[in-house]
Amino acid sequence: MRNVSSYPEAKADYLQYFLNKGKIKPFRKEFLSLHNYDQAQFYLSLSEEERKKLYHFLSPAEMADLFEEIEEENEETEQYLKEMNKQYAADMLSKMYTDNAVDILKQLEVADQQKYLALMPKEEAGELIDLLDYKQSTAGSIMTTEFAFIFAGQTIKEAMADIKRQAQEAETIYYIYVVDAERKLVGVLSLRDLILRSDDELIRDIMGERVISVHINEDQEDVAHTIRDYDLLAVPVIDEENRLVGIITVDDIIDVIDEEAASDYSGLAAVDVEERTENPFVAASKRLPWLITLLFLGMGTSTLISRYESMVSTASILAVFISLITGTAGNAGTQSLAVAVRKLADKDNEKKNNLKLIFKELATGLVSGLVTGLVIFLVVGIWQHNFILGFVIGMAMLCAITVASLAGSFIPLLMDRLGFDPAVASGPFITTLSDLTSVFIYFTIASYFLSFF
Amino acid sequence: MRNVSSYPEAKADYLQYFLNKGKIKPFRKEFLSLHNYDQAQFYLSLSEEERKKLYHFLSPAEMADLFEEIEEENEETEQYLKEMNKQYAADMLSKMYTDNAVDILKQLEVADQQKYLALMPKEEAGELIDLLDYKQSTAGSIMTTEFAFIFAGQTIKEAMADIKRQAQEAETIYYIYVVDAERKLVGVLSLRDLILRSDDELIRDIMGERVISVHINEDQEDVAHTIRDYDLLAVPVIDEENRLVGIITVDDIIDVIDEEAASDYSGLAAVDVEERTENPFVAASKRLPWLITLLFLGMGTSTLISRYESMVSTASILAVFISLITGTAGNAGTQSLAVAVRKLADKDNEKKNNLKLIFKELATGLVSGLVTGLVIFLVVGIWQHNFILGFVIGMAMLCAITVASLAGSFIPLLMDRLGFDPAVASGPFITTLSDLTSVFIYFTIASYFLSFF
């Protein structure tokens, strides 16, 4: 029965029954007919005891198919491997696509990595060791080395025979890369092109020579943008000598885009939005470092206000508008910040002038500040029957919004320039910082008009 | 020359030179060798006059290839079509993949839509009219009707001949769907499977019968999650009668995921982060509605504080901590909110109990509030040599953080339940709302201890 995106619950109950009763034959029949993703969901729902039974029911290769679908961030992976017979685990890892196997190995202690690598066939182990060396978040660290390649001098018929031979291993055969004797990348063909041509044509004559490729040290987010912009299913990865060393497929790129979005979003809220825990103590312990840091930053604002305490006791009406000014400036700063962070994430804009962005945000802040200031001038003037007070609040609003907008664009640019991720916890940082400047601006302006309140 | 992700600037200068000098032959030779995405980038860099020349240099089909790569959100698209000869524009639209053609048609006035549709071949126009009817953001609205299909009774050889015939039109032939006489979806095969089998096997015997499909009215974000989870290159779309009506390819899904992320992120900052304008007046005019709305909401907090004005003038020290309490509670509320919105976006969790999420956030808020309250109790107590004041601030902090955490999870869930997008401008809305409750909590608690300040 076909169904939308997930297999029926009843089936899971059957499978669990077969598993626990040791009925291997019906279990394998049902289980292996599932999509690997659904197999993984089933696996993740099992107890340790059940999982251990499962390892006896499935071959390392079958387990590998399932493991490809377990998310990289799963914290239990190490535990799963430990449950398996060491040789079984090593076999499974060597049957997986190299990019996914490396993701798993990276989560282990170096000693454990060595242990599994030692139990693998030499060639597989060598490939994995190479991949483990690539720096986090580069093309090299997410590529797979299982790809289909052919040579320019082959006929289509010869090439097709080569591809069929490679098809079992390759992660995709829909793009086929053409290399020369030194394995340098010289062309590309899609399988679609290939099957539409006649057998005796030469690859050289029909291949595309303008290959979109990425460099092995390129950042994974840039790779994601290349695949997205050019609507590719995969992109070849080349080294310094232009040699084809791997490919990155679109499914891995979707994960990169997801991660990138979650990380920007997390930064704007000072919390890991992928937080999986159901335990409030664990959740609080992860959020508190930010809250407490920001609390101490906020103490700066409190200290500043305390220096104006005598002013407040003379004109207590001033206290009424503190949160309005800090809040509104914070909102404007957050707007600037979000736009700037998004602009920075879109590396296509790299050539563009950052000064221009800052200037634009400054001008936008000025315009927003003027309008907001005018509105609050009228509202406060009418409400409190005091247009001097209205003027003070309006002026403070104008200045505070302008400064916050400037900070909202300047700080992420500065962080980016200094090599930090501009998105990390910058949202609350900006609002807390803008509280400080806003309060300072507010009381400084107010001090000139104290006699009118 | 192969290169990383973008074509050399010098080439663009050449092309522009050929275009302006009317040298059609060298222009076409260079231009048509570019990737469609780069063609589109070149096109977007041209002046109106130059674009009009280009329309004479390229056939509607060539222009269609280029137009597939122009982003949906491009506001100039209507202008581009108006520059073209009407029949040329209609031909171009009918040569495009239906999903992209529909995206463009949707941006036009109904009268203009009709005009172009009337100039197209009847069959193409009919397909587009059907697609235009699907509700925004459903599978139907993003699917394409150009897909490859075969029948279960065919041999591989017959099927391959069919596929080759369909290859020119279909958006992908890497997944081939098997239908019965009523066009009901009964199976799926990958092109990879197909080329590895021998010619005389029957499709029925080798096809996968467990097809992952989506329903035509399913939300595009759910489709995106299906494709992402199952690592698909395309997913078939079926109607009420299980008939295959279209496919959605992974490249369109990347755009959906991008949009989804941008929209969540925009909501958290009350600004459209995809804002493209360089003009500060335009930018300010788009941000001001939020700023002013939040300003008026913030006036609520000011009004509330003004009711405690006499209290502030008696104990001006209270003013010192207003922004600290509102700020910290706002930060905690934003954390809760971001986690809740992200959870809601992940529709896999739909079955889970929303009450459980609210309860978890409440408990997390309580724990965070206790710790933060304790810290601020000590800091204020020591700083101001007044542990009663410290106690008031700490208690207010505890309550304000708990309430803000509760609101941060409850409000997006409520909005979702009421059918609104939980992410829209909820960030600043939560902080502004939490300002109000925090101030109320703060002054209410303080009023019991006034004599100690």
pLDDT tens digits for range B15-73: 989 999 989 999 999 899 888 888 998 999 899 999 999 999 999 999 999 998 887 76
pLDDT at A352: 57
Q: Is the pLDDT of residue B350 over 70?
A: no
Angle at A279 between CA A271 and CA A46, to 5 degrees: 115
* Model confidence band, residue A4 (pLDDT cutoffs 50, 70, 90): very low
pLDDT at B8: 63
Tell me the sheet residues that pair with B212.
A3
Best B287, B294, B402 residue to mutate vs chain A (most A CBs within 10 Å): B287
Please state, in angstroms and rounded to a whole number, the distance separating the CA atoms of residues B396 and B437. 10
Q: Is the pLDDT of residue B3 over 60?
A: no
> Residue B247 in contact with residue B214, Cβ under 8 Å?
no
Q: Is B2 left (phi over 0), alpha (psi -120 to 50) or beta?
A: beta
* Interchain pair B273, A320: CB under 8 A: no
In one letter, which amino acid is A128? L
pLDDT at A78: 87
Please state, in angstroms and rounded to a whole number, the distance separating the CA atoms of residues B54 and B150. 39
* Model confidence band, residue A9 (pLDDT cutoffs 50, 70, 90): low
> Residue A191 in contact with residue A113, Cβ under 8 Å?
no
- Whether A32 has its CB under 8 Å from any CB of chain B: the answer is no
Best A264, A342, A348 residue to mutate vs chain B (most B CBs within 10 Å): A342
Identify the residue whose tokens are 């936008």. A364
- Whether A368 has its CB under 8 Å from any CB of chain B: the answer is yes
Residue A334: its chain B contacts at CB < 8 A? 269-271, 427-428
Q: Is the pLDDT of residue A158 over 90?
A: yes
The number of C-alpha atoms within 13 Å of B40 and in the hemisphere containing its C-beta is 17
Question: Which of A145, A172, A148 minimizes the C-alpha distance to A160?
Answer: A148
- Whether A439 has its CB under 8 Å from any CB of chain B: the answer is yes
- Whether A148 has its CB under 8 Å from any CB of chain B: the answer is no
Best B320, B375, B398, B442 residue to mutate vs chain A (most A CBs within 10 Å): B320
Per DSSP, the residues of A298-324 read HHHHHHHHHHTHHHHHH-THHHHTHHH
Q: How many angstroms separate the Cα of A196 from the Cα of each of A167, A233, B162, B168?
A: 18, 19, 12, 9
Please state which of the ranges A208-222, B318-332, B342-356, B385-399 shows the lowest mean pLDDT. B342-356
Which residues of A, range 203-262, sit inside 8 Å of B by Cβ?
209-215, 218, 222, 225-231, 233, 250-251, 253-255, 257-258, 260-262
> Residue A371 in contact with residue A364, Cβ under 8 Å?
no
Residue B231: its chain A contacts at CB < 8 A? 37, 69, 251
pLDDT at B290: 87
Which chain B residue lies closest to A332 (C-alpha atoms)? Answer: B291
The number of C-alpha atoms within 13 Å of B332 and in the hemisphere containing its C-beta is 39
* Strand ranges across the sheet with B175-179: B149-151, B175-179, B185-190
Please state, in angstroms and rounded to a whole number, the distance separating the CA atoms of residues A238 and A216. 6
% of chain B exceeding 90 in pLDDT:
51
Q: Is the pLDDT of residue A6 over 70?
A: no
- Whether B364 has its CB under 8 Å from any CB of chain A: the answer is yes
Looking at per-residue confidence, does B116 or B278 come out higher? B116
Read off the DSSP letter of residue B231: T
- Whether B430 has its CB under 8 Å from any CB of chain A: the answer is no
When pLDDT is averaged across residues B370-380 and rounded to a whole number, the result is 95
Question: Which of B62, A171, A120, A74 minimizes the C-alpha distance to A132?
Answer: A120
When pLDDT is averaged across residues A172-190 and rounded to a whole number, the result is 93
* Model confidence band, residue A277 (pLDDT cutoffs 50, 70, 90): confident
pLDDT at B2: 36
> Residue A116 in contact with residue A93, Cβ under 8 Å?
yes
- Write out the two tokens for B223: 């489709």
Q: Is the pLDDT of residue A349 over 80?
A: no
Identify the residue whose tokens are 């007070």. A389
Q: Is B231 left (phi over 0), alpha (psi -120 to 50) or beta?
A: left
Phi, then psi, of B178 in degrees rounded to 5: -105, 125
* Model confidence band, residue B330 (pLDDT cutoffs 50, 70, 90): very high
Structure confidence by residue, pLDDT tens digits, A290-323: 889 899 999 999 999 999 988 888 888 899 999 9
Q: Is the pLDDT of residue A427 over 90?
A: no
* Strand ranges across the sheet with B244-249: B214-215, B234-238, B244-249
Please state, in angstroms and rounded to a whole number, the distance separating the CA atoms of residues A300 and A113. 48
Count of Cβ atoms closer than 10 Å to residue B135 Cβ: 11
* Interchain pair B280, A364: CB under 8 A: yes
Instruction: Tell me how far the alpha carbon of residue B82 is from its chain's centroid.
Output: 28
Cα radius of gyration (chain B): 30
Please state, in angstroms and rounded to a whole number, the distance separating the CA atoms of residues A390 and A380. 5
Read off the DSSP letter of residue B3: B
Q: Is the pLDDT of residue B109 over 50?
A: yes
Task: Find the helix or strand (DSSP H, E) in which A74 lies.
Answer: none
> Residue B130 in contact with residue B136, Cβ under 8 Å?
no
* Model confidence band, residue A233 (pLDDT cutoffs 50, 70, 90): very high
Structure confidence by residue, pLDDT tens digits, B150-168: 999 999 999 999 999 998 8
- Write out the two tokens for A32: 């292996």
Which chain B residue lies closest to A171 (C-alpha atoms)? Answer: B192
- Whether B363 has its CB under 8 Å from any CB of chain A: the answer is yes
Looking at per-residue confidence, does B346 or A110 come out higher? A110
Average pLDDT, chain A: 88
Please state which of the ranges A35-39, A264-268, B274-278 shows the lowest mean pLDDT. B274-278
% of chain A exceeding 90 in pLDDT:
51
Q: How far apart are the first and last CA of chain A?
A: 77
Domain A9-136 has CATH 1.10.10.60: no
* Interchain pair A335, B167: CB under 8 A: no
Tell me the helix, strand and coil percentages in chain A, rounded to 5: 65, 10, 25
Q: Coil, strand, or helix at residue B91?
A: helix
Q: Point out the residue among B298, B309, B310 whose CB comes nearest to the CB of A327.
A: B298
Residue B278: its chain A contacts at CB < 8 A? 356, 360
Phi, then psi, of B237 in degrees rounded to 5: -110, 130
Give the CATH fold of the A280-452 domain: Tetracycline Repressor; domain 2 (1.10.357)
- Does the ipTM exceed 0.85? no
* Interchain pair B294, A328: CB under 8 A: yes
- Write out the two tokens for A255: 């994960």
- Write out the two tokens for B115: 């005009």
Residue A33: its chain B contacts at CB < 8 A? 210
pLDDT at A117: 93
When pLDDT is averaged across residues A119-142 and rounded to a whole number, the result is 89
Q: Crossing angle of helices B387-417/B322-345, nearest 10°?
A: 30
Which chain A residue lies closest to B298 (C-alpha atoms)? Answer: A324
- Write out the two tokens for B54: 């280009």
Task: Find the helix or strand (DSSP H, E) in which A407 lies.
Answer: helix A387-417
In one letter, which amino acid is B228? R
Q: Is the pLDDT of residue A142 over 70?
A: yes
Q: Is the pLDDT of residue A347 over 70?
A: no
CATH number given to A149-257: 3.10.580.10
Please state, in angstroms and rounded to a whole number, the distance separating the CA atoms of residues A158 and A150. 9
Cα radius of gyration (chain A): 30
Phi, then psi, of B175 in degrees rounded to 5: -115, 130
- Whether B300 has its CB under 8 Å from any CB of chain A: the answer is no
Residue A173: its chain B contacts at CB < 8 A? 192
* Interchain pair B268, A265: CB under 8 A: yes
Please state, in angstroms and rounded to a whole number, the distance separating the CA atoms of residues A202 and A198. 10
Tell me the sheet residues that pair with B185.
B179
pLDDT at A206: 92
Question: Which of B257, B366, B263 minimizes the C-alpha distance to A250?
Answer: B257
- Whether B164 has its CB under 8 Å from any CB of chain A: the answer is yes
Q: Which residues, 6+ apart, have CB-to-CB distance to A175 below 8 Å? A: A188, A189, A190, A191, A232, A233, A234, A236, A247
pLDDT at A279: 85
> Residue A414 in contact with residue B317, Cβ under 8 Å?
no
Q: Point out the residue among A5, A327, A334 whose CB comes nearest to the CB of B212.
A: A5
Q: Point out the residue among A316, A334, A372 whose CB comes nearest to the CB of B292.
A: A372
- B9-134, superfamily in CATH? MgtE N-terminal domain-like (1.25.60.10)
- Whether B385 has its CB under 8 Å from any CB of chain A: the answer is no
When pLDDT is averaged across residues A402-409 and rounded to a whole number, the result is 93
pLDDT at B5: 40
* Model confidence band, residue A5 (pLDDT cutoffs 50, 70, 90): very low
Q: Where in chain A are the domains?
A: 9-136, 149-257, 280-452
Please state, in angstroms and rounded to a whole number, the distance separating the CA atoms of residues A411 and A405. 10
Q: Is the pLDDT of residue A264 over 60?
A: yes
- Whether B178 has its CB under 8 Å from any CB of chain A: the answer is no
Which residues of A, range 316-335, sit inside 8 Å of B by Cβ?
316-324, 326-328, 330-332, 334-335
The shortest C-alpha distance from B254 to chain A (Å) reads 7
Task: Find the helix or strand (DSSP H, E) in which B150 lies.
Answer: strand B149-151
Q: Point out the residue among B191, B196, B295 whose CB comes nearest to the CB of A376.
A: B295
Q: How many angstroms separate the Cα of B150 from the Cα of each of B94, B153, B171?
A: 24, 9, 15
Question: Which of B394, B217, B37, B335 minimizes the C-alpha distance to A428?
Answer: B335
Q: Crossing angle of helices B250-269/B220-229, nearest 10°?
A: 120
Which chain A residue lies closest to B30 (C-alpha atoms)? Answer: A210
Read off the DSSP letter of residue B209: S
CB-based burial label for A240 (10 Å; 0-12, 13-18, 19+): exposed
Q: Crossing angle of helices A250-269/B322-345, nearest 10°?
A: 160
Please state, in angstroms and rounded to a whole number, the distance separating the CA atoms of residues B192 and A172. 9
Q: Is the pLDDT of residue A252 over 70?
A: yes
pLDDT at A3: 38
